[in-house]
Amino acid sequence: MATLDNPSISVSKIAIIGAGVSGIAATKQLSHHNPIVFEASDSIGGVWSHCSYNSTKLQSHRRDYEFSDFPWPQRDNSDFPTHVEILEYLQSYAHHFDLVKNIRFNSEVVEILYVGGDHDVSSSFGDLPTTHHGTPLPGYPLWQLAVKTNHSHTIQWYAFEFVVVCTGKYGDIAKIPEFACNKGPEVFKGRIMHTLDYCKLDEDGATKLLKGKKVVVVGFKKSAIDLAMECAKANQGGEGEACTMIVRTPHWIVPHYWIWGLPFSIFYSTRFSQFLHQRPNQGLLKALLCLLLSPLRRGVSKFIESYLLWKLPLQKYGLRPEHPFEEDYTSCQMAIVPENFFSEADKGKILFKRASNWSFWSGGIQTEDNSKLEADVVLLATGFDGKKKLKRILPHPFRNFLDHPFGVIPLYRGTIHPLIPNMAFVGYIESVSNLASSEIRSMWLSALVDKKFEVPGVEKMLSDTVEEMNVMKRSSRFYKRHCISTYSINHCDEMCKDIGWSSWRKKSWIREAFSPYTSQDYRKQN
């Protein structure tokens, strides 16, 4: 490790910020450069380590959340693995590939500085600066990182040629609703907690918080649904109280991966099924075919809706979504509902209250129709603010580049911001399996850093990201979730092509077209 003119600053080639799934995937793929990984917490695993409830499980089968070169033990076990099993899997991956030696735990990056010389600070999307994407490792540092370690509380500065940001889209920073004066938490006499803090409770602590208490859970997505279920479990028996969910937008929920006896994967995870959906840079002929085939695509969505409406009492509880199923799928919002969720609702342990607007009163929550719900505890399952995490550490003007008029971070190949030199972002665009998305992006990034290919000019990268955002906007009203689930295979193909790998690898074209795409389909080729 060299030093700058300032001897207290260590200089190295590559920094990785975060040791969650994305951070360890990036560490493995860039290990030949011996990166330094800064992890704020004392362990690897990110959300699986510090943002999971006791009941949290993977929402897919283990085969769909698997590194391409590291099979799960008992990979054909069809149970959804618990967060503890996922952590064990990630830990054994890190140990197997000797990644832990690169990680500095309890080391939070609190500030990043650009030291790469002239970067036009006034530049905006219309005024393109020269970037260094063509020279990922120029031989001198472009970024300095301020790192705070838990033990010393002192700041140590480091300098790097390239920085990979893997701080995660979820966890760490809670999204808290805002309220008018005298309508917020200050007037409520009970306890308020965001899921981020609820995650820190062990089983006893969680039961103590919920048992015999009137609980209101705000939200109707995966964190909220699991939380209502934990609340119902803690309140079994005559003494138990009910838990009320505040539902702003009903979303489609799914009981399992079978629809009218067919595996769910055939609807969205094969080349044929994704062919029905729009994708970026698809060309005129493909766009035309997509238009012609749109009734079939809508038919698939209706077919799934028909099953969900038959299987789950969504009508009965006023939870039938007003948007098509495919819009939830396209925006990665589909949640698996725990077994017995609706039997707890039938027993009166889980209640639902539709409300777009709500506020606090001293005894609980008031909704826009002036209903007053009494509560001892209000649990906010209102999501996370991943962008704030980035903005907190990125310097001006780069932090402004994260704000695009579309509301999502424009990332070329889901990884490179065209206007931010020598920096990559892994884990910010979602797909069905976020682990696979992070792994293929890390492989692509490794090849870019090793100059096996070059990215196009800034203008072309920007126009590609805008095209991608337009596709998302046309596909779902929830496009701000930034998800590529309906063209994830094309996304992987494009990255394989950049690296120089073949993208069609199955034994026959029938399999290629109709069997599910997995991490084996982008596995590293020599």
Ligand X SMILES: NC(=O)c1ccc[n+]([C@@H]2O[C@H](COP(=O)([O-])OP(=O)(O)OC[C@H]3O[C@@H](n4cnc5c(N)ncnc54)[C@H](OP(=O)(O)O)[C@@H]3O)[C@@H](O)[C@H]2O)c1
Ligand Y SMILES: Cc1cc2nc3c(=O)[nH]c(=O)nc-3n(C[C@H](O)[C@H](O)[C@H](O)COP(=O)(O)OP(=O)(O)OC[C@H]3O[C@@H](n4cnc5c(N)ncnc54)[C@H](O)[C@@H]3O)c2cc1C
Residue with token string 């695509």? 297
Please report, as a single letter, which amino acid is at residue 141: P
Contacts of residue 430, defined as CB under 8 A and 6 or more positions apart, other chains included, come to 169, 332, 437, 481, 482, 483, 484, 485
Q: Is 350 helix (H, G, I), strand (E, B) or coil?
A: strand
Task: Please say which residue, 22 or 422, places its beta carbon nearer to ligand X.
Answer: 22
Omega cis (within 30) before 397:
yes
- 19 is an interface residue for ligand Y by CB under 6 A: yes
- Residue 55 phi/psi, 5-degree rounding, is -95, 0
Interface with ligand Y in residues 169-188 (CB under 6 A): 170-172
Query: Of ligand X, ligand Y, none, which one does residue 23 interact with (CB within 5 to 8 Å by kind)?
Result: ligand Y
Instruction: Compose the 101-140 pattern: x for residues touching ligand Y by CB under 6 A, - for all others.
Output: -------xx-------------------------------
Does residue 389 interact with ligand X by CB under 6 A?
A: no
Assess 88 for contact with ligand Y (CB under 6 A). no
Q: Among ligand Y, ligand X, none, what binds residue 486 when CB lies within 5 to 8 Å by partner kind?
A: none
CB of 89 to ligand X, least distance (A): 14
312 near ligand Y, rule: CB under 6 A: no
Report the residue number, 46 or 219, with the smaller CB distance to ligand X. Answer: 219
User: Rounded distance, CA 162 to CA 395, Å?
Assistant: 15
Question: What x-and-dash track marks residues 183-212 binding ligand X by CB under 6 A?
Answer: ------------x-----------------
Q: Is 519 in the site for ligand Y (CB under 6 A)?
A: no
Q: How far is CA 23 from CA 35, 165, 242, 426, in A?
A: 11, 8, 40, 8
Q: Which of 132, 221, 349, 389 binds ligand X (CB under 6 A)?
A: 221
User: 220 or 325: whose CB is closer to ligand X?
Assistant: 220
Can you say how many angstroms the Cα of residue 248 is from the centroid of all Cα atoms in its chain?
21
Q: Is 373 in the site for ligand X (CB under 6 A)?
A: no
Cα distances (angstroms) measured from residue 39 to each of 14, 92, 103: 14, 18, 7
Which range, of 52-60, 241-249, 265-273, 343-351, touches ligand Y by CB under 6 A? 52-60
Residue 17 interacting partner from ligand X, ligand Y, none (CB closer than 5 to 8 Å by kind): ligand Y
User: Whose CA is closest to 245, among 373, 144, 128?
Assistant: 373
Q: Determine the interface stretch with ligand Y among 44-52, 112-120, 404-412, 465-473 (rule: CB under 6 A).
A: 44-52
Q: Considering CB under 6 A, how many residues would be counted as binding ligand Y?
A: 36
Give one DSSP letter per residue of 9-31, joined into a string. Answer: SEEEEEEEE--SHHHHHHHHHTG
How big is the CA angle at 61 (ends 56 and 65), to the nearest 5 degrees? 85
| The only residue of 22, 446, 465, 475 in contact with ligand Y, by rule CB under 6 A | 22
Answer for which of 38, 89, 188, 479 binds ligand Y (CB under 6 A) is 38
**Could you tell me how many residues of this chain bind ligand X (CB under 6 A)?**
21
Q: Does 308 bind ligand Y (CB under 6 A)?
A: no
The residue within the footprint of ligand Y, chosen from 168, 219, 240, 321 (CB under 6 A), is 168
Cα 460 to its chain centre, rounded Å, is 26
Q: Which is nearer to ligand Y, 433 or 486 (CB)?
A: 433
Give yes or no for a contact between 446 and 439, defined as CB atoms under 8 angstroms apart. no
Identify the three-state secondary structure at position 223. Answer: helix
When binding is defined by CB under 6 A, the residue of 28, 33, 57, 279 that contacts ligand X is 57
With binding defined as CB under 6 A, does residue 249 bind ligand X? Answer: yes
Cα-trace Rg, the chain: 24
Beta carbon nearer to ligand Y, 17 or 373: 17
According to CB under 6 A, which one of 383, 386, 410, 421 is a site residue for ligand X? 383
**Does 17 help bind ligand Y (rule: CB under 6 A)?**
yes
> Which member of 23, 35, 219, 418 binds ligand X (CB under 6 A)?
219
Contact predicate 35/13, CB 8 Å: yes
CB of 340 to ligand Y, least distance (A): 19
Long-range contacts of 177-186 (CB under 8 A, 24+ apart): 177/218, 177/380, 177/382, 179/359, 179/360, 180/359, 183/359, 183/360, 184/359, 184/360, 185/360, 186/360
CB-based contact 455:423 (threshold 8 Å): no
Q: Quote the CA–CA distance of 43 and 468 in Å, as a whole number.
A: 35
Phi, psi of 222 (to 5 degrees): -60, -45
**Type of residue at 67:** F
Which positions from 384 to 423 touch ligand Y by CB under 6 A, shown as an x/- string?
A: -----x---x------------------------------
Q: Which of 218, 300, 416, 445 binds ligand X (CB under 6 A)?
A: 218
- Confirm or reject binding of residue 56 to ligand Y (CB under 6 A): yes
Alpha-carbon distance of 268 to 275, in angstroms, equals 9
CB of 27 to ligand Y, least distance (A): 11
Which positions lie near ligand Y, rule CB under 6 A? Answer: 17-23, 38-41, 46-48, 51-52, 56, 58-60, 65, 108-109, 166-168, 170-172, 389, 393, 427, 433-435, 438
Which positions lie near ligand X, rule CB under 6 A? Answer: 56-59, 170, 177, 195, 218-224, 226, 246, 248-249, 381-383
